[in-house]
Every structure is written in C-alpha cells, then in structure tokens.
Amino acid sequence: MKIEIWSDVVCPFCYIGKRKIEKAINNSPFKDKIEIEWKSFQLNPDQVTDPSLNSLEYLSKAKGWSMEQTLEITDNVVNMAAAEGLDFQMGNTVVANTMNSHRLIHLAKESGKGGEMKESLLKAYFTDGLNIDDAATLVSLGKEVGIEEEPIRQMLASEQFKNTVEQDIYESRTIGVKGVPFFVLDKKFGISGAQPDEVFDQTLEKAWNEYSKVNPSLEIAEGNGEACDVEGENC
C-alpha cells in the first residue's frame, strides 16, 4: 500500500509529521507492506536564499513580530519536535529556497533513496544549520546517502526534475492541499497536518482495511492538525 506525502524541507510540521507517520507504520502489523512516496511542495517558491538570515530573524521581519514574540511562538514548535525525538535549532537555520532540495530528492528516488534523502535534508536544515540551497552542501548530503557526485552536479547545473517538482505541486492542488504535511493513504484517505498519534493509527488501519477496494474519493480525517501554509505562523 502506498502512502504519498506532500511536504517541504523547511516546514517544521513536515518533519514532526514524518516522525508521526513512521511511528504509526512501525507499530502496525503490516509495516513491511507499506511504501512511502515523497511529493514536493514549496511553501514559498519565490523565497530568496539568504545565508545571513535564520528562520527566527526572517519570521520576525516578515511577520512584524518582536524577537521575543517570535521565540515564544516558535518554542511551541520546538517542544512539539522534542516530543518526537527531534532537535530543532531554529536559531541556526538558514533561510533558503527549496527547489534544489526537492530536485535532489527526486534524483535520490531513482535509486530508491528518496526517504533517506528527505530525512538528511530535514536534519540538515532544522538541526545542523546547513544551507540546503548550497551546491556543495547538496553534493555532500547526496553522497552521504549513496548518490554519485557527478549526477548531482549535472542535476544542479541543469533544469532536471524541475518539471517533476512542479507536477507534484500541481497534483497537490488538484486534491485540495492547502498546507503541509499532507498524507494520502492508498489514494483514498487523507491526513492534513501533524495530527495526534491516534489519528495516524486509526487512518492507517482504515486505509489498510480498504486497500483491496477501488475508491477514487479522498476522505480527510477530521480535526485540525498543525501544518504550514503560506500565511501560517511558525513557518
């Protein structure tokens, strides 16, 4: 059974949601029969990479908040992440456009390493404070998960996978995705945002039970999970 996940590399709830769906899958008796496919989504496709800014400074400036307000708001996200075993270092994050990161994930998917690449990029951004739009950084991260250097450099020097990223984003619009993370299980059941664990557990079980049936409709789990959108705070 396939689970498609639309997310962005700089979305904190996407990293938190990744841990939640992984936990639900690992706790299920059919975990070996589930495939995850990562789909691209850009919260701010026009974002200009600026290594001189971290996300706290960017949020403060963009939202008109004081740094004290910004820290108070983002501390809630940091605590949510910590509950999932994630170490968010928001003061070290580098404001960056995510197109090249998404293209690298698609390159990695060709060799079955899309999930590893996604995890590496999320950690690089939220924990390690790396510039995920920097060519040398992307080459290094790609090599760490087993991708040859030359294909990465060729991809970065071209438009390769740009259309693939844009197709993912287009698909997200066709099913009504307005924020990420957004999980689609067996093309029938959706979860919007990093919702409570029981929502993931129950929806996963429901999707598995319906796995053999043909149903093109998408049923979205009730509730308002934390998510990033264009107007959202914390992101």
Q: How many CB atoms lie within 10 A of CB 67?
A: 12
Beta strands in the chain (DSSP E): 2-7, 35-40, 182-185, 189-192, 219-220
Whether residue 147 lies inside any domain: the answer is yes
**pLDDT classification of 218: cutoffs 50, 70, 90:** low
Residue 1 has pLDDT above 50, yes or no: yes
State the DSSP code for 90.
Answer: G
Mean pLDDT highest for which of 61-65, 92-96, 214-218, 228-232?
Answer: 92-96
Q: Tell me the residue type at 205.
A: E
* Cβ partners under 8 Å of residue 25, min gap 6: 3, 31, 34, 36, 204
- b/e sequence 77-93, b meaning 16+ C-beta within 10 Å: bbebbeebebebebeeb
Is residue 132 a contact partner of residue 99, using CB atoms and an 8 Å limit? no
Whether residue 234 lies inside any domain: the answer is no
Residue 32 has pLDDT above 70, yes or no: yes
* Cβ partners under 8 Å of residue 63, min gap 6: 70, 233
> What CATH number did the domain enclosing 206 receive?
3.40.30.10
Closest among 93, 90, 89 to 52, alpha carbons compared: 93
pLDDT in tens, 69-119: 999 999 999 999 999 999 999 999 999 999 999 999 999 999 999 999 999
Whether residue 227 lies inside any domain: the answer is no
> What mean pLDDT is predicted for residues 121-143?
98
Q: How many CB atoms lie within 10 A of CB 22?
A: 16
Percent of the chain exceeding pLDDT 90 equals 88
pLDDT in tens, 58-75: 999 999 999 999 999 999
pLDDT in tens, 157-181: 999 999 999 999 999 999 999 899 9
> Which domain, by its residues, includes 193?
2-220
> What mean pLDDT is predicted for residues 208-217?
68
Average pLDDT, the chain: 93
State the DSSP code for 219.
Answer: E
Q: What is the pLDDT of residue 220?
A: 62
Whether residue 157 lies inside any domain: the answer is yes
User: What is the domain count for the chain?
Assistant: 1
Prediction pTM value: 0.91
Whether residue 231 lies inside any domain: the answer is no
Of 21 and 234, the structure prediction assigns the larger pLDDT to 21
The owner of tokens 């589930």 is 34
**pLDDT classification of 143: cutoffs 50, 70, 90:** very high
Whether residue 228 lies inside any domain: the answer is no
Whether residue 216 lies inside any domain: the answer is yes
Whether residue 233 lies inside any domain: the answer is no
Is residue 42 a contact partner of residue 90, using CB atoms and an 8 Å limit? no
